Every structure is written in C-alpha cells, then in structure tokens.
Amino acid sequence: MSVSTEQSSGRCVFRVQINGPIDAVWRELTKTGEVQPAIFNNVMHTSGGVQPGSLMQMRSKDGKYVGMVGTILEVTPPHRFSHTLRFTHLDDPECVVVYELREKDGGTEFTLTVEKMPEGTKTGKSMMQGGPMICSTLKAVIEQGGPPLMTRVLFAAFGALAPITTPAKCKAEHWPLRA
C-alpha cells in the first residue's frame, strides 16, 4: 500500500498502513538516544523525557548537528504523539506535527499530519517532500527491519556531505537543550 496524501490550506496529511503491531510503531517514533531511520536517520533528544512540555531536538547520528527543534505537546501512548517543529537552518515559523496510530486490519494505520504549515515557505516544501518518505521508511523499518537500500544510500550521502552542506548555525553547540 502506498502513502496517501491530502493537502488543504496550512495542513497536510500523510497516511500508510503498516503491517506491524502498534507498540512497535509507537516505540520507533518516540525512542530517544537511538537513530530513528524514519526521521532521516536522526536521533531524538529531549530536555525531560518524552512528555508534554519537554523540549526536543532531532540531531545527526554523530550529534554534531541539530536539524530541528520543538516542544512536545501531547503524548498518549500508543495512539498520539505531537510536537512543534522548526528547522534550524530556516527562519520560517514553526508548525505542529501530529503522529496518530490506530490498530487496523491486523496492523497499524499510521497518520502524519502537519498543521499550521507555513505555506509558500521552505518548511512547507520540505514537509511536503519529507512526509511520504517518513511514512514509507517507517513502514519498511517495521515490516522489514530497516529502510530500503536506496534510502540507506541517501542517508549515507547526507551523512558524508553534512560537514560541507550543513550551515554552521545548525551545529549542536548553537542549540543547547535546556529544560
């Protein structure tokens, strides 16, 4: 099953059926201190665990760069996780990301919704491109144990090029995680 996409003013919804248990999908989305292949091979760090009010960051695998920052808004295991999101390399306003999981047809229906998406911005464009990749990579991680080969190649290229292509303002030293 492919990723379905719906878009309206300031909002985008991506949905995919994952043939795996809801608890496995939930763990993959909310784990900290470990690589999350579905989230572009980044590692989630928080100021106080995965709970509402905690600050969060998605850092590169080596911890040298912070790609996005936000605040956790809602944690309702294993059904709903939401947070604000702002890319560190952009000056666009933040948006809200909502992950919803529902047991369906012996697996998990995964829905990624981006709300308050700043239209006409690089953030909006990035979310439109990234949403389907997040869904399909998460599906592969749960169903097959890891991302598809081409996704792994892409992540390896991102990692190798990061020192050259990542703006200095994204270095972790500029984004201390405070409570």
The span from the CA of 28 to the CA of 44, in Å, is 11
> Minimal CA–CA distance to 59: which of 164, 152, 176?
176
Chain center to CA of 136: 12
The predicted-structure confidence for 157-179, as pLDDT tens digits, reads as follows: 988 888 899 999 999 999 998 76
Q: What is the pLDDT of residues 32-50, one digit of tens each?
A: 999 999 999 999 999 999 9
Quick check: 148 pLDDT over 70?
yes
pLDDT bin (cut points 50, 70, 90) of residue 70 is very high
The model carries a pTM of: 0.93
Instruction: Give the pLDDT score at 33.
Output: 94
CB 15 within 8 A of CB 22: no
- Sheet holding 107-115: strands in order across? 4-8, 11-18, 107-115, 95-104, 80-87, 66-76, 55-59, 42-46, 35-36
State the residue for tokens 């099953």: 1
Rounded to whole angstroms, how far apart are CA atoms 76 and 83? 12
pLDDT at 3 (0 to 100):
87
Is the pLDDT at 104 greater than 70? The verdict is yes
pLDDT band of residue 97 (cuts 50, 70, 90) is: very high
- Banded model confidence at residue 31, pLDDT cuts 50, 70, 90: very high
Q: What is the model's pLDDT at position 179?
A: 65
